Structure 1
Amino acid sequence: MTFATDIEIARAATKKPIQQIGEALGIPAEHLLPYGHDKAKVSQDFIDGLEGRENGKLILVTAINPTPAGEGKTTTTVGLGDGLNRIGKKAAICIREASLGPNFGMKGGAAGGGRAQVVPMEDMNLHFTGDFHAITSAHNLLSAMIDNHIYWGNELGIDERRVVWRRVMDMNDRALRDIVTSLGGVANGYPRQTGFDITVASEVMAILCLAADLDDLQRRLGDMIVAYRRDKSPVFARDIKADGAMTVLLKDAMQPNLVQTLENNPAFVHGGPFANIAHGCNSVIATKTALKLADYVVTEAGFGADLGAEKFMNIKCRKAGLAPDVVVLVATVRAMKMNGGVAKADLGAENVAAVEAGCPNLGRHIGNLKSFGVPVVVAINHFVTDTDAEVEAVRDFVAAQGAEAILCRHWEKGGEGIEALATRVAEIADSGVSQFAPLYPDDMPLLEKIETVAREVYHADAVVADKTVRDQLAAWEEAGYGSLPVCMAKTQYSFSTDPGQRGAPTGFDVPIREVRLSAGAGFVVAICGQIMTMPGLPRRPSAEAIRLNDAGDVEGLF
C-alpha cells in the first residue's frame, strides 16, 4: 500500500486566507499581523481585550515514553482538534514551534503527519515567523554584553570562572558544546571556557513561554542569573542592563502565531522549550488566548507523560492558573510491542503476547495522570500493520486500569477518523469531573519536591543527591527560591534515568548530578544523568535529503 508523504499532502492542501481563520475565532483582520497569506501573529492589544471572558475547556494530549516505533502525539493533537470541529464543536489547537536542529537531524518536524497536519508545513518547520531567531538574538545579545562588561573593567566584580550564561543557536552542532572564546590577544578579551546550547534549551525560550505579557517578560529576563562573583553572590541580567534591549528583540516574538490545519481549523503555534531542561509546552499566552476564543482547546506536552505532562501540570498550570479538563494519552500497538521486547524490524508481525508484555508502561502513565485528579482517555493511534487482536489487547488492558481506549485513524482519514475520540473527550470535558491539583504544594522543600516526582511519577525507590546538591538547594531556599517548582531533566525514553529500561521498571534510584536555578523562568532544574543541551547530527542527517525540486518546492522535510 502506497501513501503520499507528509509534505506531498501538505503541499496539496487547500488553505484559506489567514483572515478567514481569524474571523472564525472572532479575531478582526486589523488585529492579525500577516506573514504572507497563510500565517499571522495575533496583536497584543486584541489579547489584552479578552480579559474577563470565560475560558473554554482545556484538553491535554500526552503520550507513553517515546520509542523508535513512533507514537504520533502531535498528529493526534491536530487530528483531535479537527475531529472536535467536525462534530460541531468550536475548537482550536495549541502546539509548539519546530526547531531547525531536529528538522535537519533525525527527529523531523513538528507539524503532525498524514491527514492530521498544520500548514504551511514547510514554513512551520523552517523559519516560520522568526520567533526562534529573535530568541537566539536576544540570548546572544546578553552573552555579548556580559563579555563586554568584563572587558571594560568588570565593575560588577564578575568571577570569570563562574559565568554560567552560554551562547545558543538553533542547530544541532556537537562541535560547539565546549569551546574557548576570546582567543587572539588582549583586544579580544579574556579567554574562558564556555559553549553553545540549542536555542530551545535557552532560559529565554522558557521565559517567553511562561510570561503573561511584555512587562512580565522583561521582569523575568532581568531575574535571570548569568554569573557569580568571587563571594558566590549572583549577577543578574538586569545588572548587565540587558533586559530592556532583550525585550525589544522579543516584542514581536511574544505575540502568538495563528495558522490552520489541513481541514482549515485554527491552530496557535508558539514557543518550543525543551521538555528535558525546561517544561516542554507551548506558550502560556497562546494557550490562554485560545481558551478565550474557542470552546475547546487541544494542546500537547513534550515527550512522554512522565516528563511533559508532569511539567505541564506542576509548572505551566501552577504558574498560569490553568487546569486541564481531560487528558488524552497516546499509545500505539507498535510501541507496546517494542516495550514488550520486539525489535523495530519485527514490529509488522502480529504478536499479542508482546503487546500485553509492553502494556505496563501504558498502565503506569494512566495511574500517574489520574493522580493529578484528571480523567484519562487512551487514544490508540492506528498503524496499518495493527491487527484486531492486538488492538483488543490494548483495549482490554486499559479497561482493567479503569479507563477506556479508543482506536483513532486520523493519520489516514483526518478528522473523520477520530470522531469517536472527539465525542468522548467533549463529553468528559463538559461533565466537569476533573479535580485537578498539582502533585506538591509550593511550600514543600525543594529536595522533597524532587523526591515526590521521583517517587510518585517515576516510581523510584529513592533520590541520590550528594552534599553539594543538598547544600545548593538549601542555599536557594534561604535566598527566597524555595517556593519554585522543580523541573526534572532526565531521559525521555524510560521512567528511570537509564534509557534502555523500557516498560515500567522498578527497583531503581534517581541520581541528581547537579541542580540549576532558572530564576527568570521560575523553576529549579534537577539534572538526572547525562542530558544533552546541544544535540549532534546523526551519521546520515535528514539534511542530506532536503532540497528544492525543479518546480522550486521543498522536498525531504517530514
Structure 2
Amino acid sequence: KSTVTIGLVQALTAHLKINSFACLRQPSQGPTFGFNLHLTGDIHAITAANNLLAAAIDARILHESTQSDKALYNRLVPVVKGVRGFSSIQLARLRRLGINKTDPETLTEEEISRFVRLDIDPSTITWQRVVDTNDRFLRKITIGQANTEKGFVRQAQFDIAVASEIMAILALTTSLEDMKERLGKIVVANDKKGEPVTAEDLGVTGALAVLMKDAIKPTLMQTLEGTPVFVHAGPFANIAHGNSSILADKIALKLVGEKGFVVTEAGFGADIGMEKFFNIKCRASGLVPSVVVLVATVRALKMHGGGPSVSLKDVPLQTNLQLVADGCCNLQKQIQITQLFGVPVVVALNVFKTDSPAEVDLVCKIAKQSGAFDAVPCNHWSDGGRGAVKLAQAVEKAANQKSSFKYLYGLELPIAEKIKTIAQKVYGAKDIELSPAAQSQIDRYTRQGFGKLPICMAKTHLSLSHQPERKGVPTGFILPISDVRASIGAGFIYPLVGTMSTMPGLPTRPCFYDIDLDPVTEEVKGLF
C-alpha cells in the first residue's frame, strides 16, 4: 500500500501538476528487522515513555507496601532547602481527591492517606513493557525476582513497541496540549476498590510529555520524483488502529491547498485499517475522506481463490483465470465494506511482471461490476509516477463525486453491540462470543464510564474471520472475543479476537541473515 500511495502522489504532483502529499506510517524494526528509519525517533521515544510508566507502577506498589503513610508522605513531599511544597501534578491530584489545600502541613491524617496511597491491585495491571523486536519469549515473563523486591513477584509480558497505547496517542493527537491530556488519562490498572488508576495519578504525565516532545513532529521526506511525504507514527494495524498521524494529515492538508490531495495510508484491508480509519481516526480528526483507494494484487486474489490450503508463497505464477475469478469474491467483499461508509472506492491493481494482461483485465472488470467507481492497473513499481497516472485521474474524478460519509455505529451503543456490529457488518460473522474475562472487562469499563468510546478490534489481517487460514469470504462463523482492553488516553476500547498476540515472533530464517555492513565504505546491504 505504501508503494501505491507513493506512486499515486508522484503521478498527481509530477505528472498531473496537482499539489499532493503522502502521509505514511513509520515502519517498525520488529517484524522486518532493519527497516526502522529512526527519523524523529518516534519508536524510541515511545519505548522510553512506555517503559518509564511501567517502572513507575511496580515501584509505586513496592513503596506503598513497605512504608507507613507518614514515611510515604515525607518522601513524596520532601523538605527542600527548608521548604516543603507540592509539585503541580501533586496539586492536581489533591484537587481530584476533593482536597482543596496547598500547604503540605495542613493535611489531616485521613487526607494524607488518600493522597499517598494509589492502592493498585496488581492483578488488574494492564500496562505492559514494550520492545521493538519480535521476541516471542517475552510474551509471558515473571518480574520482581531479585531479593531487593521483597517478594513482589508477578507475571507480566512485553508487547511490541508499536502496539503501545502511547503510539496510538501520538497518531491520534492534535497538539502538545492534547497529547499531555491523553497521556495523563492512560489507565494502567484498578485500585482495590475497582476504580481506575491513571498515569496522572502516578505523577508521570509531565515526564512522558517531555520524552515525546520531539516525536510529535512529523518527518518530512520526499519521493524519488520530489513529491513531499510525511512519515509519522506507526500504530500496529492488528492491535492499535494502524493509521499514520492526524497531525501529518492536517499539516499536509494545509500545505496542498483547497484543490490539492492528501493520500494517507491505512494498514491492511478494508476490514481493519479502513474500518479503524473511519470509526476511530475520522472521529478524532473531524476530517471526512473523499475517496478510498483499495489496493489489490493478482497473486493475493489467487490465494483467496485457492481456499485455505494455499499460502502466498505457493500461489501459481502462471496464468490461472479461474483462481483469479474465484478470489475476486474477497475483493468484492472489501468493496462492499467500503460502501457501508458511503465513500466512492477506486481499486488500484498493483501489477507484477508475472501477471498476465488477461488476469489484470479480469480483476478490473469484476471490481467495476462489484460497485467500484473505477479499477485501474498500476505500474508505479517499474515506471514510477508515470505508471500511476491512470490511477491519479480516476482518484481525481472520484473525488468530485458526491460523498455521503457515515460512521458504522453510534458511540452511544453498548460496547458489546458495537463489537457485534463490526463483526457482522464488516467481517461477515454470524455472531460474537464473549469469554467470561471479556464480559467482565466490558462490565468494568462500562461501570467506570468508558462505554461510549469507539472500538479497535485486535484481529488477524490474514482473513476476514479470526482464523488466518480461512481465505475468500468466510460466512456463518462465530467471532470469539478472548479479552477486552482499554486505551483510554488514545480513546478506544480494544477487544482481542481469538488468539491474537500482541508480541510477534521471529521466523526460522529472519531477514537479519541478509543484512550486512561494509566496514570500509559503511554501506548497508540487504535492507528493503
TM-score w.r.t. the length of structure 2 is: 0.86
- Which of 146, 162, 184 lines up with 2:57 in the alignment? 146
Q: How far apart, CA to CA, are the structure 1 residues paired with 2:16 and 2:383?
A: 15
Report the counterpart of residue 520 of structure 1 in structure 2.
Answer: 489
Report the counterpart of residue 183 of structure 2 in structure 1.
Answer: 221
Report the counterpart of residue 182 of structure 1 in structure 2.
Answer: 144
How far off is 1:160 after superposition?
A: 2.3
How far off is 1:476 after superposition?
A: 2.1
How far off is 1:172 after superposition?
A: 1.1
The answer to whether residue 270 in structure 2 is matched with residue 305 in structure 1 is: yes
The answer to whether residue 22 in structure 2 is matched with residue 93 in structure 1 is: yes
Deviations along 1:275-334, whole A, 9 cap, x unmatched?
Answer: 121100001111111111111000111111101000000000012101110001110111
Q: Give SS of 2:457's match.
A: strand
Amino acid at match of 1:484: L
The answer to whether residue 369 in structure 2 is matched with residue 400 in structure 1 is: yes
RMSD: 1.5
Report the counterpart of residue 555 of structure 1 in structure 2.
Answer: 525
Report the counterpart of residue 257 of structure 1 in structure 2.
Answer: 219
- Mapping for residues 289-328 of structure 1, pairs under 5 Å: 289-294=251-256, 295-328=260-293
Amino acid at match of 2:397: E
Q: Give SS of 1:369's match.
A: helix
Report the counterpart of residue 412 of structure 1 in structure 2.
Answer: 382
- Which of 256, 266, 277 lines up with 2:239 in the alignment? 277
The answer to whether residue 98 in structure 2 is matched with residue 170 in structure 1 is: no
Report the counterpart of residue 329 of structure 1 in structure 2.
Answer: 294
CA contact (8 A) 1:228 1:235 kept: yes
How far off is 1:153 after superposition?
A: 1.9
**Structure 1: tracts of 5 or more residues without a match:** 1-72, 110-124
Q: How far apart, CA to CA, are the structure 2 residues paired with 1:454 and 1:187?
A: 44
Q: How far apart, CA to CA, are the structure 1 residues paired with 2:415 and 2:504?
A: 29
Deviates more, 1:346-355 or 1:308-317: 346-355
Change in Cα spacing, 1:178 to 1:475, as seen in structure 2 (3 Å) is closer
Q: How far apart, CA to CA, are the structure 2 residues paired with 1:540 and 1:470?
A: 39
- Mapping for residues 357-376 of structure 1, pairs under 5 Å: 357-376=326-345
- Which of 183, 192, 195 lines up with 2:154 in the alignment? 192
Deviations along 1:39-81, whole A, 9 cap, x unmatched?
Answer: xxxxxxxxxxxxxxxxxxxxxxxxxxxxxxxxxx111011111
- Which of 12, 31, 34 lines up with 1:102 in the alignment? 31
Amino acid at match of 2:200: R
Report the counterpart of residue 132 of structure 1 in structure 2.
Answer: 43
Q: How far apart, CA to CA, are the structure 2 residues paired with 1:161 and 1:460?
A: 33
- Mapping for residues 23-38 of structure 1, pairs under 5 Å: none
Amino acid at match of 2:299: R
Q: How far apart, CA to CA, are the structure 2 residues paired with 1:317 and 1:179?
A: 37
Q: How far apart, CA to CA, are the structure 1 residues paired with 2:281 and 2:408?
A: 13
Report the counterpart of residue 115 of structure 1 in structure 2.
Answer: none
Report the counterpart of residue 348 of structure 1 in structure 2.
Answer: 317
How far off is 1:466 after superposition?
A: 4.1
Change in Cα spacing, 1:365 to 1:346, as seen in structure 2 (3 Å) is closer
Q: Give SS of 1:152's match.
A: helix
Report the counterpart of residue 82 of structure 1 in structure 2.
Answer: 10
The answer to whether residue 138 in structure 2 is matched with residue 210 in structure 1 is: no
Q: How far apart, CA to CA, are the structure 2 residues paired with 1:469 and 1:160?
A: 18
Question: Sequence identity, in percent?
Answer: 50
Change in Cα spacing, 1:493 to 1:506, as seen in structure 2 (3 Å) is same
Report the counterpart of residue 67 of structure 1 in structure 2.
Answer: none
- Mapping for residues 381-400 of structure 1, pairs under 5 Å: 381-400=350-369
CA contact (8 A) 2:169 2:179 kept: yes
Runs of 4+ in 1 over 6 A off after TM superposition: none
Deviates more, 1:479-488 or 1:178-187: 178-187
Q: How far apart, CA to CA, are the structure 2 residues paired with 1:98 and 1:126?
A: 7
Change in Cα spacing, 1:276 to 1:92, as seen in structure 2 (3 Å) is same
Report the counterpart of residue 396 of structure 2 in structure 1.
Answer: 426
Q: Give SS of 1:389's match.
A: helix
The answer to whether residue 444 in structure 2 is matched with residue 475 in structure 1 is: yes
Deviations along 1:433-474, whole A, 9 cap, x unmatched?
Answer: 111111011211111111111111011111111455334323
How far off is 1:231 after superposition?
A: 2.6
Q: RCO greater where, 1 or 2, for CA within 8 Å and sep 6 or more?
A: 1
CA contact (8 A) 1:139 1:167 kept: yes
Change in Cα spacing, 1:350 to 1:187, as seen in structure 2 (3 Å) is closer
Q: How far apart, CA to CA, are the structure 2 residues paired with 1:93 and 1:241?
A: 38
Report the counterpart of residue 86 of structure 2 in structure 1.
Answer: none
Report the counterpart of residue 450 of structure 1 in structure 2.
Answer: 419
Q: How far apart, CA to CA, are the structure 1 residues paired with 2:56 and 2:8?
A: 45
The answer to whether residue 434 in structure 2 is matched with residue 465 in structure 1 is: yes
Report the counterpart of residue 457 of structure 2 in structure 1.
Answer: 488
Report the counterpart of residue 287 of structure 1 in structure 2.
Answer: 249
Q: Give SS of 2:427's match.
A: coil
How far off is 1:189 after superposition?
A: 6.8
CA contact (8 A) 2:445 2:451 kept: yes
**Structure 2: tracts of 5 or more residues without a match:** 66-116
How far off is 1:493 after superposition?
A: 0.7
Q: How far apart, CA to CA, are the structure 2 residues paired with 1:92 and 1:183?
A: 51
How far off is 1:388 after superposition?
A: 1.3
Q: How far apart, CA to CA, are the structure 2 residues paired with 1:252 and 1:484?
A: 28
Change in Cα spacing, 1:297 to 1:189, as seen in structure 2 (3 Å) is farther
How far off is 1:339 after superposition?
A: 1.1
State the aligned residue count.
467
Q: How far apart, CA to CA, are the structure 2 residues paired with 1:216 and 1:188?
A: 39
How far off is 1:151 after superposition?
A: 2.1
CA contact (8 A) 1:103 1:557 kept: no
Relative to total residues, which structure has the larger helix share, 1 or 2? 2
CA contact (8 A) 1:151 1:189 kept: no
Q: Give SS of 2:177's match.
A: helix
Deviates more, 1:365-374 or 1:402-411: 402-411
Change in Cα spacing, 1:157 to 1:83, as seen in structure 2 (3 Å) is same
